[in-house]
Structure 1
Amino acid sequence: MEHGEGTNFKFVRWEKYDVISTAYDYVYVTFDAKDPVSGSVFSFQTLLNEDSSPDCPVMWSTLACRIKCDDAVHARWDDKAVDDFYKDAMPKWLSDEELASDDKKNYVVQESEWQENGWLHLFTEIAFYSKTNNELTAPPPLEIEKVVVVTKEDTEEGHEKLKAQNAIFYVSYKYNGESSEWARDHKAVIRKTTDGKPGHMYLEVVAAD
């Protein structure tokens, strides 16, 4: 979990969880997070808005992600601030040639990188849960096999694309759990966008197999 200027906080414990249903479901989550460098523990606030559909089972917008405070939340998503490249229908799975290519737009993520960035494994878990309709309650034993990042953001180094503000992730992974129904290779397309406001992120996930 990143906050501020790249600070990686670690989840400690749940504190509070509320759901308010109007036209959409708003989920208010308060939890403790730890700064692994200083050892300090903070109370953290997150506000999620869920707007899923049968064609895209996960469509979440994070409207707040911050150390607990009394400041007002910017609860309105600015869709106009997102590049058209990341809008409309979710993209299809890439061809084998595209999955293998490292170029200006595509980046094949190294194994060491997805091991160092726990949020990428979290994205994969979200993709798996959406596929199984949350039937499995225990944390699933998933093994990431390949990740390709596609983004329009121009970076000097290819590995910097992994942390692009707007990107599409093509993830191949395997379920190694006890459920024989899901014990096979899986694919997911995950699109992450931001509108430039602090704490805002939009996440869309579809299964590609």
Structure 2
Amino acid sequence: MTTEVVKNTTEVVESEYFTKEDYEAWGGPSVYWDRVAESDGFDIEGIPTTPFSGGLIARNCNLMPENLMVKHYAMLGLHRYNMSEGTSFELDRLIKYNKLQNAVSSYYMTLLAYDPSLRQEETFQVRTDERKVNRLDVTCSISRPRDKKDEVSTEELPTKEPFVPHFYRCAVSDSTLFNGELPDWPSDDALNDTNRFYVLKESEWQATDWIHLYMELLLCANDRASAQRRPDFMSDLQILKVAIETDIGGMKPPNERLKANCANVYITFKGLETVPRIDEIGKHVERKAIVRRVISPGFLTLVGKHWSGKDTEKRSVTLKSGENVRRSRKRYRFG
């Protein structure tokens, strides 16, 4: 009696066990990853693999429910490209994606996007790499039109590096303000420092798509179960206030800070029933979140967290001894 075994590709093997020929076609892990590297992880159809080989899992988005986490990763890639190239591409639909068989993974997404200002449709390739579970800590390292993948962008790495299925690299800022642990929530007096902070008008943050994207990415990362199974779990989300912190206070006009490569974004919002591992206090309650953006050649990194006064209390307890100070610096080092 035979058992149908489906590989991590579109190939189906009619056998109870994989044959010698199957393993020869696979060639071992090094051969497999060399083949994956030829398309930078995006087009793996037809590449032989075997059960438990630790390769990429291929997903056809036409055959599965929408995953909000992956959708927002795709939108992050388009955001990175738009900031670099001055375009306005919007996600039309995800076509497929490949991911590792890990809780923390890299995602290799192929998607269709449209720029209404250019009246142009493009197929894009976007790669994101996660660094933490149940927390927003993600780097977009590739975002490009598929038919231009061999062209060098000014924002890409200066030299092509060896393919690594999952790495923990990230964008690094030249300013200490945007390295290390995320800051505490600024006081009202601090927000009055216009050289450091810019408090957005409601019309500004409503018209700034990436603010909503960052907030929704944080919520998806913090509640992956809802992102996978409840596509409407953010339907009542309301952003109430937004402030952005940069180190380019002399730039005029102030709203130009929205384009800064490095920024801490402070968002007050409501509309969630609960925030897993944080609270269960209902949709009507105002909550706070902090998201950091750092862009450096080749990378866009977002790190975010929900904030409460307890964060400061925990930190003050942790930093009582010199030994704990050193451990904290090591633990929270960003980059």
Q: TM-score, normalised by structure 1?
A: 0.85
Q: Structure 1 residues 37, 177: CA separation in 2 closer, same or farther (over 3 Å shift)? A: farther
Describe how 1:38-57 pairs up with structure 2 within 5 A. 38-52=118-132, 57=135
Three-state SS of the structure 2 residue aligned to 1:91 is: coil
CA RMSD in angstroms comes to: 2.8
2:171 touches 2:294 (CA, 8 Å); kept in 1? no
2:172 touches 2:294 (CA, 8 Å); kept in 1? no
Out of 137-146 and 74-83, give the one that drifted further: 74-83
Out of 16-25 and 82-91, give the one that drifted further: 16-25
**Deviations 1:148-194 (CA, angstroms, capped at 9, x unpaired):** 10011241211111121100000001116799854121110100001
Partner residue, 1:109 = 200
Describe how 1:1-209 pairs up with structure 2 within 5 A. 1=79, 2-20=82-100, 25-52=105-132, 57-68=135-146, 69-71=148-150, 74=157, 77=169, 82-99=174-191, 101=192, 103-135=194-226, 137-139=230-232, 140=234, 141-153=236-248, 154-175=250-271, 182-183=282-283, 184-197=285-298, 200-209=299-308
Deviation, 1:12, is 0.3
Query: Which structure's CA Rg is the greater one?
Result: 2
Which structure's residues are more often strand, by fraction?
1
Identity of aligned residues (%): 25
Q: Structure 1 residues 81, 124: CA separation in 2 closer, same or farther (over 3 Å shift)? A: closer
Name structure 1 gaps, 5 residues minimum: none
Code of the aligned partner of 2:130: E
Which structure's residues are more often helix, by fraction?
2
Three-state SS of the structure 2 residue aligned to 1:8 is: coil
2:268 touches 2:287 (CA, 8 Å); kept in 1? yes
Q: How many residues align?
A: 204
Out of 132-141 and 121-130, give the one that drifted further: 132-141
Name structure 2 gaps, 5 residues minimum: 1-78, 162-166, 309-335
Q: Structure 1 residues 127, 182: CA separation in 2 closer, same or farther (over 3 Å shift)? A: farther
Q: TM-score, normalised by structure 2?
A: 0.55
